[in-house]
Chain A
């Protein structure tokens, strides 16, 4: 890199151009296709971005247009973001698994002019709602399969548009016009609109400027020392701010390589092949990996099982200390090194985490057990707390100060204060411009002095680490006056591998009661080993032995709650196991797999009532949506189980 090549610092297209010039030969992107990792250098990628930008301009795209991007993580879709930005248009990535109706709201609200999508599935969804989209000029698709017989009046192959753009750029005036458009971009322009899926109400379009995103990207890069030698794998939804910052913003700013998996189902294998150095995943991903390992170990031979158990104990005792650089006796280091050779390194390799420098988990609270497990086998897993409205970073865990139950300290240049009711509020250079076409809701969230209200209740512990308890609007009161933070209780339950999801009730009730969703993999495996025969999820969920097992978990949670002064009253008195998995297709979860509490309360009102009127059984009859969109019904009697709660006085006596 020569000295005259000062990196531009205001827009992604300019940075892209800079990368093409200064590290043109380095790999910018990979995508596994036909079983082989195909790769593109920064120079090649930039050439495609320009051709696509010109191609879009040829279709009539102009500065200020909103361009929807819908599909799984693919190089061409990331390049579409850059191409749109070259023209001064605003990319709007949309969750690809949204059903047509959900998608229509965003497409309509953002007045999308162009949609660039992955395949026929997405094309179909848009065509289905096209009548509601008067602004839509064209749909571009990456994968041609199945689209041959479609009406191509408004439909174009992405490859064809790129070829046209490339041809047009052969003329100097087109090329210089494009250069001028790129040069016109400035830091205060809107770089992207990200629609938050939202646990309540309509999605909100969060407008983020280049300044926001670049400031935020710099925080992360500086904090963990990321360089152009880092490697990441992009597999989380492109519409999610985390992916936008990690796989797009930071990748361009630091110049590192982003790899796209072959298929969502092949991610574990693909991750293993790439060996990313920087990893980001919601707790669910780590939970699933661990559950799979545990299930497989149950089936392993006695020698392996003994080895696994033994060295995991060693890891639990010393692993985190070694990782955090604490003083550890030599014999323990040697013992751990042996374990590393036999168990930890192979495990990390299995997970594709061999080369990880730093891994983050966010989005939801992670179980202390799960979190500690990964740290103990030598994966530098940390937590962060972030929001779309902050361009991700609010708090981060610094190396050496990792605690499983907090989300860390305020990120550099982020200022945090607690509102009157304990609500977390922050101010940072990443703070969003506002919600698109929604000044009212912007005003609700942004305070006059520039802070953003997160809607989360939390507090700082003695070391200055932030601890999040729950959503402010969710924290309720029990009739006897005790605090009822549903998510706090649910997370305690969900840390058991057998419990996939839990929904707790208690606000304005005498006691806490909850719905449980069993994990089909973990409980299924348990059932197989214990000869619990079942023909369906519904049958398994109703088995009395499964109830016994879940009841023992609930009792353990009660014991843990009884130890915390504010939570003693929030012990779980009754529970039931739902006969179906909570599903985003039924509106029970958000697209990011968070529970939609009010919807569930309404949908299962009969069950909630039964939890509190003392009955031992409740009848359920609800409609369910299958993956292909068809509807069916689930009906049956659900058993309700009472659980023992710890009396506080009893505990005191015991102590």
Chain B
């Protein structure tokens, strides 16, 4: 593999802390994501992984710390701004328009890129039409890429879970993101579906050069896919490095196997 992972940092998270009332979701976390890499965020349940993603794409605003994306420091950013600046994401529980077809769902990912105004779109003439055709072509390329031609016209609510996940990835790709955030892309999948999804993630990374940050529980998947891994536990960063480094880290082993007093704390809290 000759994938282009540069040393250049795309996203830098510095000393970020986030709390909901008295509950500390993440505490003083710093890590970076480099251009073109696949970066995994792992940790036990409740470690703050999804919160971290929500901070990155502007859904939560941290009380402390800064996020630097493509050289610009952001303290408070709305999700729509994050999307416009090139960050797309998928969700832990599939969040699609269930009554709409695969095609329309992915097409909805293009909405930020549509420029024709409402009236033009209404009459479907001139620029609106040309634009729609151009967007449709892009969407068809994604459908081809993800091999979901056979479900193009089927309402996503009728699809099996593994395919819904793929459609969701398609919608995120429709935004042509520079940074793709995947929240447990393999959750609830069987082995074959996991292998398919892994291949798509690798292909997205190598064909489109998209930088990917993913949260995943399946350690095998994480170790195979990612260039670097950051490990969270109880909202704190406990390790950061290549899969091999992280795997042999004692703190990580403890966090995953559980240490007696921590376990009891978790039950009583």
List A residues at the B interface (Cβ < 8 Å).
Answer: 33-36, 145-146, 148-149, 262-263, 265-266, 269, 626-628
Cβ–Cβ contact A35 & B143, under 8 A: yes
Per-residue contact bits, chain B 121-136, to A (CB 8 Å; 1 contact, 0 not): 0000000000000001
Q: Which of B22-30, B83-91, B92-100, B144-152 contacts A (4 or more CB under 8 A)?
A: B144-152
A to B CB contacts below 8 Å, 28 in the list:
A33-B144, A34-B140, A34-B143, A34-B144, A35-B136, A35-B140, A35-B143, A35-B149, A36-B140, A145-B145, A145-B203, A146-B206, A146-B207, A148-B207, A149-B1, A149-B2, A149-B3, A149-B206, A262-B150, A263-B149, A263-B150, A265-B149, A265-B150, A266-B149, A266-B150, A269-B150, A269-B153, A627-B192
B81 to chain A, nearest CB (A): 32
Q: How far is the CA of A464 from the CA of B1 in the complex (A)?
A: 65
CA distance A263 to B192 in the complex (A): 19
Known: A35-B152, A269-B150, A269-B153. 16 other contacts (CB 8 A): A34-B141, A34-B144, A35-B136, A35-B143, A35-B149, A36-B140, A145-B203, A145-B207, A146-B203, A149-B1, A149-B2, A263-B149, A266-B149, A626-B192, A627-B192, A628-B192
Give every chain A residue within 8 A of B263 (Cβ-Cβ): none
B195: interface (CB < 8 Å): yes
Kindly provide the distance from the CB of A611 to the nearest chain B CB, expressed in whole angstroms. Answer: 33
* B184-226 at interface with A (beta carbon < 8 Å): 191-192, 195, 203, 206-207
Asked if A34 contacts B192 (CB within 8 A), the reply is no
- Closest A residue to B138 by beta carbon equals A34
Tell me the complex Cα distance, A262–B150, Å: 9
Query: Could you say which residues of chain A place their CB within 8 Å of the CB of B147?
Result: 263
Q: Using Cβ atoms and an 8 Å threshold, which residues of chain A touch B143?
A: 34-35
B113 interface contact, C-beta 8 A: no
Q: DSSP majority for the B interface?
A: helix
* A487 CB, min distance to chain B CBs, angstroms: 33
| A269→B149 CA distance, assembly (Å) | 10
Q: Counting CB contacts under 8 A, is B137 at the interface?
A: yes
Report Cα–Cα, A266/B195, bound state, in Å.
Answer: 22
- Nearest-neighbour CB distance to chain B for A521, whole angstroms, equals 14
- Report the interface size for chain B: residues with CB under 8 A from the other chain: 21
**Least Cβ distance of B160 to chain A in Å?**
13
Tell me the smallest distance from the CB of B149 to a CB of chain A, in Å: 5
User: Which residues on the B side are within 8 Å of A35 (C-beta)?
Assistant: 136, 140, 143, 149, 152
Chain A residue nearest to B195 in the complex (CB)? A628
Write the B166-198 contact mask toward A (1 if CB under 8 angstroms, else 0): 000000000000000000000000011001000
Across-interface contacts of B149 in A (CB, < 8 A): 35, 262-263, 265-266
Residues of A within 8 Å of B136, CB to CB, are 35
Which residues from chain A contact B150 at a C-beta distance below 8 Å?
A: 262-263, 265-266, 269
Contacting residues, chain A, for B144 (C-beta < 8 A): 33-34
* Smallest CB gap from A36: residue in B: B140
> From residue B8, how far is it (CB to closest CB) to chain A in Å?
21
Q: How far is the CA of A34 from the CA of B140 in the complex (A)?
A: 5
Contacts of B191 in A (CB 8 A): 626
Give B103's nearest chain A residue, CB to CB: A35
> In the bound complex, what is the Cα–Cα distance between A67 and B121 (angstroms)?
52
Q: Quick one: closest A residue to B136, CB to CB?
A: A35
- The complex places the Cα of A627 from the Cα of B192 at a distance, in Å, of 8
Residue on B with the closest CB to A148?
B206
A581 to chain B, nearest CB (A): 15
How many angstroms from the CA of A146 to the CA of B206 in the assembled complex? 8
Contacts of A269 in B (CB 8 A): 150, 153
Shortest C-beta distance, A100 to chain B (Å), equals: 18
Q: How far is the CB of B96 from chain A (nearest CB, A)?
A: 19
Residues of A within 8 Å of B207, CB to CB, are 145-146, 148
Chain B residues, CB < 8 A from A628: 192, 195
- Residue of B2, B144, B145, B150 with highest tally of chain A CB at under 10 A: B150
Query: In the complex the two chains form, what is the Cα distance from A263 to B152 in whole Å?
Result: 12
With a cutoff of 8 Å between Cβ atoms, the chain B residues found around residue A626 in the complex are 191-192
A residues less than 8 Å from B206 (CB atoms): 146, 148-149
- CB contacts (< 8 Å) of A266 on chain B: these are 149-150
Query: Within B223-254, which residues are at the interface with A (CB < 8 Å)?
Result: none
Report the minimal beta-carbon distance from A117 to chain B, rounded to whole angstroms. 17
Compute how far the CA of A36 lies from the CA of B152 in the bound complex, rounded to whole angstroms.
Answer: 12
Nearest CB on A from B69, distance (A): 28
* Cα distance, A627 to B193, chains bound together (Å): 11
Q: How far is the CB of A265 from chain B (nearest CB, A)?
A: 4
Task: Determine the residue in chain B with the shortest Cβ distance to A262.
Answer: B149
Determine the residue in chain B with the shortest Cβ distance to A32.
B149
In the complex, what distance in Å separates the CA atom of A628 from the CA atom of B195?
9
Bound Cα distance A266, B3 (Å): 33
Bound-state CA distance A263–B150 (Å) is 7
Residues from chain B with a CB closer than 8 A to the CB of A627 are 192
Separation of A34 and B149 alpha carbons in the complex (Å): 8
Question: Which residue in chain B gives the minimum CB-CB distance to A268?
Answer: B150
CA distance A36 to B203 in the complex (A): 24
Instruction: Report the bound CA distance from A518 to B150 in whole Å.
Output: 26
| B residues in contact with A265, CB < 8 Å | 149-150
Which of chain A's residues has its CB closest to B152's CB?
A: A35
**Nearest residue, chain A, Cβ from B153:** A269
In the bound complex, residues from chain B placing their C-beta under 8 Å from that of A145 are 145, 203, 207
| A145 and B150 alpha carbons, distance in the complex (Å) | 19
Smallest CB-CB separation from A264: which chain B residue? B150
Q: Which residues of B contact A263 (CB under 8 A)?
A: 147, 149-150
The complex places the Cα of A145 from the Cα of B141 at a distance, in Å, of 12
Contact with A along B246-266 (1 / 0, CB 8 A): 000000000000000000000
Chain B positions within 8 Å of A36 at CB level:
140
- For residue A272, give the distance in angstroms from its CB to the closest CB of chain B: 12
Cα separation A262 to B149 with both chains bound (whole Å): 7
Closest 7 CB pairs of A and B: A265-B150, A34-B140, A266-B150, A35-B140, A262-B149, A263-B149, A149-B2
A contact residues around B192 at 8 Å (CB)? 626-628
Chain A's nearest CB lies how many Å from the CB of B221?
Answer: 15
Q: Roughly how many angstroms separate A466 CA and B181 CA in the complex, as a whole number?
A: 64
Chain B positions within 8 Å of A34 at CB level? 137, 140-141, 143-144
Q: Which residues of chain A have C-beta atoms less than 8 A from B3's C-beta?
A: 149
Q: List chain B residues, Cβ under 8 A from A146.
A: 203, 206-207
Give A263 to B149 CA distance when docked, in angstroms: 7
Residues of A close to B145: CB separation below 8 A: 145
Within the complex, the shortest CB–CB distance from A357 to chain B, in Å, comes to 28
Max count, chain B CB within 10 A of own CB: residue among A35, A149, A263, A627 = A35
What separation, in Å, do the CA atoms of A329 and B191 have in the docked complex? Answer: 60
Q: Which residues of A contact B203 (CB under 8 A)?
A: 145-146
Question: How far, in whole Å, are A146 and B192 apart by their CA atoms in the complex?
Answer: 19
- In the complex, what residue of chain A is closest to B207 when comparing beta carbons? A145
Whole-angstrom distance from the CB of B140 to the nearest CB of chain A? 4
Q: Chain A residues near B140 (CB, 8 Å)?
A: 34-36
Task: State A169–B40 Cα separation when bound (angstroms).
Answer: 52
In the bound complex, CA of A627 to CA of B2 (Å): 28
Cα A99 to Cα B239 with chains together (Å): 42
Instruction: State A639–B253 Cα separation when bound (angstroms).
Output: 46
Shortest Cβ gap from B184 to chain A (Å): 22
Residue of B nearest to A632 (CB): B191
Alpha-carbon gap, A281 to B226, bound state (A): 45
What is the CB-to-nearest-CB distance from B259 to chain A, in angstroms, rounded to a whole number?
A: 35
- A35 and B152 alpha carbons, distance in the complex (Å): 9
Residues of A within 8 Å of B141, CB to CB, are 34
User: A34 to B141, alpha carbons, bound, how many Å?
Assistant: 6
